[in-house]
Structure 1
Amino acid sequence: MIRSILAALAFVGSASVVSADCAGEPGPCRVEGGTYHIVLPRAERPPVLVFLHGHGGEGAGPISNQQLVAPLLARGWAVLAPDGDMLPGGSGKRSWNFFPGWEGRDEAAFLRAATEDAVARFGLDRERVVLGGFSAGAFMVNYLACAMSQAYSAYVPVSGGFWRPDPEACNGPVRLLHTHGWSDPVVPLEGRILGGGRFQQGDILAGLEIWRLANGCVDHKPDSFSVTGPFHRRLWASCDPGGVIEFALFPGGHMVPEGWADMMVDWYEALGDH
Structure 2
Amino acid sequence: MSAVARWMLVWAALLAGPVLAECGGFGGACETAQGTYLIEFPDQDLPPMVVFLHGYGGSASGTLRNRRMVEPLLARGYAVMAPDGALRNGRKSWNFYPGWEGRDEAAFLAEAVQDAVRRFDIDPDRVILGGFSAGGFMVNYLACATPDAFSAYVPVSGGFWRPHPDGCAGPVRLFHTHGWTDNVVPLEGRALGGGRFLQGDIFAGLEIWRQANGCADNRPDGFAATGPFLRRHWTRCADGSALEFALFPGGHTVPAGWADMMLDWYEGLPGG
TM-score by length of structure 1 reads 0.90
**Map 1:72-221 → 2, pairs under 5 A:** 72-88=73-89, 91=90, 93-221=91-219
Superposed CA offset, 1:117-163 (max 9, x none): 00111111000000000000000000000000011000000000000
**Distance in 1 between residues matched to 2:194 and 2:254, nearest whole Å:** 28
- Partner SS, residue 271 of structure 1: coil
User: Which residue does 1:66 correspond to in 2?
Assistant: 67
One of 235, 238, 241 as aligned partner of 2:236: 238
For structure 2, list consecutive stretches of 5 or more residues without a partner in the other structure. 1-15
- Partner SS, residue 247 of structure 1: strand
The one-letter code of the counterpart of 2:125 is E
Change (3 A) 1:23 1:51: farther
User: Which residue does 1:273 correspond to in 2?
Assistant: 271
The one-letter code of the counterpart of 1:257 is P
Change (3 A) 1:250 1:24: farther
Work out whether residues 52 and 82 of structure 1, in 8 Å CA contact, stay in contact via their aligned partners in 2.
Answer: yes
User: Which residue does 1:40 correspond to in 2?
Assistant: 41
Deviation of the 1:171 alpha carbon? 1.6
The one-letter code of the counterpart of 2:252 is H
Work out whether residues 23 and 37 of structure 1, in 8 Å CA contact, stay in contact via their aligned partners in 2.
Answer: no
Deviation of the 1:86 alpha carbon? 1.3
Show structure 1 runs of 4+ deviating over 2 A.
Answer: 18-27
For structure 1, list consecutive stretches of 5 or more residues without a partner in the other structure. 1-17
- Partner SS, residue 265 of structure 2: helix
- Partner SS, residue 219 of structure 2: coil
User: Which residue does 1:5 correspond to in 2?
Assistant: none
**Distance in 1 between residues matched to 2:236 and 2:25, nearest whole Å:** 44
- Partner SS, residue 155 of structure 1: strand
**Distance in 1 between residues matched to 2:194 and 2:88, nearest whole Å:** 21
Q: How many residues align?
A: 254
Deviation of the 1:32 alpha carbon? 1.0
**Distance in 2 between residues matched to 1:225 and 1:28, nearest whole Å:** 41
Identity between Structure 1 and Structure 2 (%): 65
Deviation of the 1:243 alpha carbon? 1.1
Work out whether residues 180 and 250 of structure 1, in 8 Å CA contact, stay in contact via their aligned partners in 2.
Answer: yes
Work out whether residues 20 and 64 of structure 1, in 8 Å CA contact, stay in contact via their aligned partners in 2.
Answer: no
The one-letter code of the counterpart of 1:196 is G
The one-letter code of the counterpart of 2:69 is L
Superposed CA offset, 1:105-128 (max 9, x none): 010000000000001111110000
Deviation of the 1:26 alpha carbon? 4.5
Superposed CA offset, 1:24-52 (max 9, x none): 62431000100000000001111100000
One of 234, 238, 256 as aligned partner of 1:258: 256
User: Which residue does 1:12 correspond to in 2?
Assistant: none
Superposed CA offset, 1:54-105 (max 9, x none): 00111111111100110011110100000001124xx3x2000000100000
Residue range with higher mean Cα deviation, 153-162 or 189-198: 189-198
TM-score by length of structure 2 reads 0.91
Deviation of the 1:23 alpha carbon? 5.1
Query: More relative contact order in 1 or in 2 (CA 8 Å, sep 6+)?
Result: 1
**Distance in 2 between residues matched to 1:135 and 1:19, nearest whole Å:** 24
**Distance in 2 between residues matched to 1:41 and 1:23, nearest whole Å:** 15
